[in-house]
Amino acid sequence: MVLSTGYNKTRTAVFISGTGSNLKSLIKFSKTNKSPITIEIVISNNSKAKGLDYTKKYNIKKKVLDFKNKNLTENNLLIILKTNNIEMICLAGFMKILSKNFIKKFKGKILNIHPSLLPKYKGLNTHKRALNNKEKYSGCTVHFVNDRLDSGKIIMQKKVKISKKETEASLAKKILFQEHKLYPKAIIKVFNL
Ligand code: GAR
């Protein structure tokens, strides 16, 4: 990934909607020497997102935008990102779909983590669907975001075995644990592409 702002590390925004456990793992990673990114701002579409607590704890800027009027919100968001010299975006449990126009402005610079082995189980309720289909494995995927849902180029995946007694909750927990390790690895890979 090419840097253009002249900063040492790539200034990154993380978009969240909920718990923010991936945000936490990315913040921790960003503070290590091997990280090519710094996290400058957290964007949430949800003012009650638990993940926003990490912005306080780690002293990171935050902005809550309600996305009710997507066009208007995204235009606002583009200004915020520009003002903060943001070059890369990591979606981390962000449950809104960004417009084609927005994605075009950050072409090849938006990453997402998804709790399935894409191209299987795009969209919501991934664990439920994997269990219903009696899958033996599921996992998580970090991919580039393009204008089709969960369909951008895959960067890295981690497979997880589904046990006989697996429940949606136990599978979600197992996969989330792997997500926290996979996202930083995938970011490093992107900078070596
Ligand atoms: C994660 O499992 C992430 O993969 C998933 O939401 C969870 C967020 O957890 N993302 C999606 O389903 C996106 N379509 P977190 O808030 O604790 O990081």
142-179: pLDDT as tens digits: 999 999 999 999 999 999 999 999 999 999 999 999 99
143 is catalytic: no
**Cα–Cα distance between 147 and 140 in angstroms, integer?**
20
* CA angle, 168 then 152 then 91, to 5°: 60
Which residue's alpha carbon is nearest to atom 8 within ligand 1?
93
Degrees, nearest 5: CA angle 187-157-113: 60
3-state secondary structure 123-160: CCCHHHHHHHCCCCEEEEEEEECCCCCCCCCEEEEEEE
Q: How many CB atoms lie within 10 A of CB 168?
A: 15
Res 3: pLDDT = 54
The string of pLDDT tens digits covering residues 82-134 is 999 999 999 999 999 999 999 999 999 999 999 999 999 999 999 999 999 99
Q: Is 4 helix (H, G, I), strand (E, B) or coil?
A: coil
- Among the atoms of ligand 1, which is closest to the Cα of residue 126? 12
Nearest Cα residue to atom 9 of ligand 1: 93
Report the nearest atom of ligand 1 relative to the CA of 175. Answer: 2
Query: In angstroms, rounded to a whole number, what is the distance separating the alpha carbons of residues 133 and 137?
Result: 11
Is residue 63 within 8 Å of residue 32, measured between CB atoms? no
Q: Residue of the nearest CA to atom 1 in ligand 1?
A: 93
Distance 6 CA to ligand 1 centre (A): 32
Q: Give the model confidence (pLDDT) of 33-71 as tens digits.
A: 999 999 999 999 999 999 999 999 999 999 999 999 999
Q: Give me the mean pLDDT over the 16-21 stretch.
A: 98
Spacing, Cα 59 to ligand 1 middle (Å): 22
The answer to whether 118 and 157 have CB atoms below 8 angstroms apart is: yes
Say whether pTM exceeds 0.85. yes
Which residue has a Cα nearest atom 3 of ligand 1?
Answer: 93
Q: Ligand 1 centroid to 86 CA: how many Å?
A: 22
